Amino acid sequence: MSRLALLTREHAPAASAPLLDQVQAAFGATPNMFRAVANSPAALASMWAAFGALGGGTLGARLGEQVAVAIADLNNCEYCLAAHTALGRKAGASGADRRAAQAGQSDDPKSAAALRFALAMVGQRGQVDAAEVDALRLAGFGDGEIMEIMAHIALNLFTNYVNVTFAVPLDFPHVALRAK
């Protein structure tokens, strides 16, 4: 059971209602995570804007979902793992791609570098050295793309923490976390 109210459009603060309408239109449903975040119109607006901005970014949906899956698994966020596994499938990631992403791996060297960086950032709480950034450049990422990877990391940390902290109930098909 969620530790925060999962709000419907009718029970959400007035400023959250139009954002929940946008979420409903985009997903065809209103996922529980958005219903929890709707308790704060500012938090919902921030999260929804970040999803929109990154969805139109240069990295592409597939890599964004792979990063999300890797971070979710590291943070033991079953909600985000399930959601981003489903979204990754829609973005063209195969089952093998999605399973590899859980471990921070990819057959594509550029994607693998992004996943290694994301997991290093989260695992070391941002305390990475210049070699971590240089590895992204060597893999072919420019500074703008590197900053976009950072934005994906930040958004996924927020959503992982929301779902884990507030025990948001799963409403996507379950995906098992890796044994660690």
Q: Could you tell me if 82 and 22 lie in one domain?
A: no
- The string of pLDDT tens digits covering residues 63-119 is 999 999 999 999 999 999 999 999 999 999 999 999 999 999 999 999 999 999 999
Report which secondary-structure segment, H or E, holds 33.
helix 32-37
> What's the domain range around 43?
17-55
- The string of pLDDT tens digits covering residues 39-75 is 999 999 999 999 999 999 999 999 999 999 999 999 9
Quote the mean pLDDT of the chain.
97
Q: Could you tell me if 49 and 65 lie in one domain?
A: no
Q: What angle do CA 92, 97, 100 make, to 5 degrees?
A: 155
- Answer for the pair 104, 79: CB distance below 8 angstroms, yes or no: no
- Residue 140 domain-assigned? yes
Q: Could you tell me if 66 and 130 lie in one domain?
A: yes
Quickly tell me which residue has 């079953």 as its tokens: 78
Work out the pLDDT band at 180, boundaries 50, 70, 90.
confident
149: Cβ contacts below 8 Å, ≥ 6 apart: 59, 67, 114, 117, 118, 136, 141
- Residue 177 domain-assigned? no
- Residue 175 domain-assigned? no
Percent of the chain with pLDDT over 70: 100
